[in-house]
Amino acid sequence: MAEPLRIALAGLGTVGAGVIRLLETNSELIARRARRPIVVTAISARDRYKPRGVDLSGYAWEDDMVILAERPDVDVVVELVGGSDGPALACARTTFEAGKALVTANKAMIAHHGLELATRAEAAGVSLKFEAAVAGGIPVIKGLREGAAANAFERVYGILNGTCNYILSTMEDTGRDFASVLADAQRLGYAESDPSFDVDGIDAAHKLSILAAIAFGSRIDFGAVEVTGISQLRAADIAQADSLGYVIRLIGMAEPDFSEGACKLFQRVQPHLVPFDHPLAHVDGATNAVVAEGNFSGRLLFQGAGAGDGPTASAVVADLIDIARGEVASPFSVPVSDLETLPAATSGHRRGRAYIRFTVADRPGVLAELTAAMRDAGVSIESLIQKGAPEDGGPDGIGEVLVAMVTHEGPESGVTHAIELLSQSPSLTAPPLVMHILGK
């Protein structure tokens, strides 16, 4: 058998320890499939003495990740520290300067610096692989880049953040509000102590920008992703969506836009109403799912665990097996020089149906004011819902009620204009919530 592939592991958190366990547990199977053994030779982490549930005594230790990447007994560096800049980025750059391959699960670093790192990898003639950066153990990057490579993709979308999906599906099952479910998710380890990265949609936006670059052969443009998180959702929104035949899911969506002639790229992360009969409506808990629509393959669904030590370690080691076999492919399907710079597409001309929730003062004339704004903006109302007793009022003693509307299909610009017309209205006690309805 060929000489072992020697790896350095930077980061020994949940995923790093999972990589070690996987390489040890499945060592013989991995060696057969990779056609050579894959062994860890050196490691690095912030805390050398923290218990991790795996034996680290057989590995050389480096306090500095940059020095780790320069070691002569290392062929591949696995970066599992996280963060878009700082030590992770310095380690990645040093890895390519040393002529070594890099495997990472760092979606923030790839979203912000992926083109630079891919350019460095191409110049060094080595691999940059990041299957674990998107959707954990689901092989969606490999699926798009290799399995469906013959297709022109018409749309890529899906549930890209397990924390948000756990919160939303638990709100469905229990009828509880966002804050209560988030607190439980933090206690159970599904959400971080500072959950903003997840619940504000940033994590999903990082992943979406990576998928869009691979699917559409474009340069990553994370800054062009329109992002809305889930923190403004209420139990009442979940209940009303259910009564209308929908569930609510945080959806990341990317698709080319030819409405103005030249191709532009639309990218958005936003809560959507998803019809009961759509495959994504049945994705519960911390699960991720990605739908890719190819012009010859049709709809492809990739679904599975989006995080965790086992699934993410599985994706990391799959990348290592490719490298052990000698595979060196363009990280984004084509060389960086061939990636297109696609301008960001605006959403105003997009057509669809929307759910709009208003929090308003409980007094006469408010509904007439809302419907007049819709009329003046050219928005046709399919249904209007006001349920339940008024909520407790503010300092003036006037109660609040929730009013929900579902619109007929029309341009998104109409809804935006209606919201603008109401922006200074004293009848609104909170900003409106707009969620678009996912088409089948």
Catalytic residues: 207
Provide the residue type at 29 as one letter.
Answer: L
Pairing of strands 153-159, 246-257: antiparallel
Cβ atoms 212, 153 nearer than 8 A: no
Q: How far apart are CA 377 and CA 373, in angstroms?
A: 6
Task: Count Cα neighbours of 9 within 13 Å in the Cβ-side half-sphere.
Answer: 25
DSSP, collapsed to helix, strand or coil, labels residue 146 as helix
Task: Count Cα neighbours of 310 within 13 Å in the Cβ-side half-sphere.
Answer: 4
Look-up of token digits 């083109």 = 115
> What backbone torsions phi and psi does residue 362 show, to the nearest 5 degrees?
-85, 85
Q: How far apart are CA 130 and CA 79, in angstroms?
A: 10
Look-up of token digits 């003046």 = 376
Rg (alpha carbons) of the chain, rounded to whole number: 24
